Amino acid sequence: MAKLSHINADGEAQMVDISAKSVSQRIATAAAVLKMAPRTLAMIVDGEIPKGDVFAVARVAGIQAAKRTSDLIPLCHPLALTNIGIEFESRNDDELHILSTASVNGQTGVEMEALTAATVAALTVYDMCKAVQKDIKIADICLLSKSGGKSGVWQAP
């Protein structure tokens, strides 16, 4: 069985020591999907949600969340992120896809930051739209790709 890097010899949780790792550009992309009624998605796209511009608020929330990932996930290192991008795409009349990309020049990856950004952006879309539709589903939160560091490039199948 592979040794888990977040567990010490006594089986206790620990933060991984990255002090010996070299600095490299690291990029990760993650996604989330919201499934909703076609009318709700149309209201988002047309700017008709009563709380305001859903895309603008969700984008800022995702960026803010990525910057605070180490405050939310106990064993994550605080990172000086160089960029966070959040994109939205409507598909199939009833799905809103969120794509987040995080990058850093650092000693550890940004997968958790990209995942956190996509997730919080999706939660924010839900919050902005819950008065219109309460049964919006958030699904398919996943890492799509990562690059940098010793392990190099990884792409989801």
As annotated, the active-site residues are 127
* Residues 103, 147: Cα–Cα separation, whole Å: 9
User: Phi then psi for 82, rounded to 5 degrees?
Assistant: -95, -20
And the tokens for 136? 């919006």
Surface-to-core class of residue 146, CB atoms within 10 Å of its CB (0-12 exposed, 13-18 middle, 19+ buried): buried
Surface-to-core class of residue 145, CB atoms within 10 Å of its CB (0-12 exposed, 13-18 middle, 19+ buried): middle
Task: Go through the chain and tell me how many residues it has.
Answer: 157
